Amino acid sequence: MGRFVDVASAFPTVLFSFPLVVVAAYWILALSGVIGLDGDEAAGGAEATGLAGLLAGLGLGGVPVTVTVSLLVVIAWFTSLAGSTLVTGTPALTAVLVAALACAWLGTRLLTLPLRRAVPKERVPSRADFVGRTCVIRTGRVSGTFGQAEATSADGSSALIQVRQTGDETFLAGGTALIFAYDDDGEFFWVTPYDAELDPDRPL
């Protein structure tokens, strides 16, 4: 036991001992429900975003930051501990540190490969998401060359969009229209008058 403590508190293992304690404390608190398992958000704000970008640059992205950092620390600590018990001297121990970092990167990369497939990919919002939804006309008229409306996406966010019509229907400001297509070249939406009475999904 004394030998273990000596190695764990000596260079290079000591460099990873404190981070290991932090990682262990985090997972104990997370598994006990004291803090949430929110992945990248657990690290907090801009710091989490910057760390996630750094890990992605090292080929370790695609999984929550807390998981990646935990694997890096645990693998580096065990590798340095094992190496330090086999060699002595500053040059050799420095080589153990380098080897621990390399093993941590390689081991984490291999372990996170299957995790990336299990983590759901974040869907990028698209303008096509508005197609099939209703919008509220915000201009006094809508023609084949002019018109604006406010549309609300599935997540509740709203946006002011350019709208056009193919016929000569009358659209009034504050009225409801149905978005039925998006024009990629003109970057506008085609709309048609919307009658709530004809909506099959309307509540009875």
Length reported for the chain: 204
Region class of 132: left (phi > 0), else alpha (psi between -120 and 50), else beta: left
Domain that includes residue 68, residue range: 2-118
150 and 109 co-located in one domain: no
146 and 100 co-located in one domain: no
Average pLDDT score over the chain: 84
Residue 80 lies in a domain: yes
10 and 84 co-located in one domain: yes
Residue 12 lies in a domain: yes
Instruction: Decide if pLDDT at 200 tops 50.
Output: no
Q: DSSP letters along 153-165, please? A: -TTS-EEEEEEE-
pLDDT given at position 32 = 86
Report yes or no on whether pTM surpasses 0.75. no
Instruction: Decide if pLDDT at 1 tops 70.
Output: no
Please choose, from the candidates 109, 116, 158, 151, the residue with its C-alpha nearest in 3D space to the C-alpha of residue 133.
151
135 and 161 co-located in one domain: yes
CATH number for the domain that contains residue 173: 2.40.50.140
Residue 203 lies in a domain: no
Q: How confident is the model at residue 40 (pLDDT cuts 50, 70, 90)?
A: very low
Q: How confident is the model at residue 97 (pLDDT cuts 50, 70, 90)?
A: very high
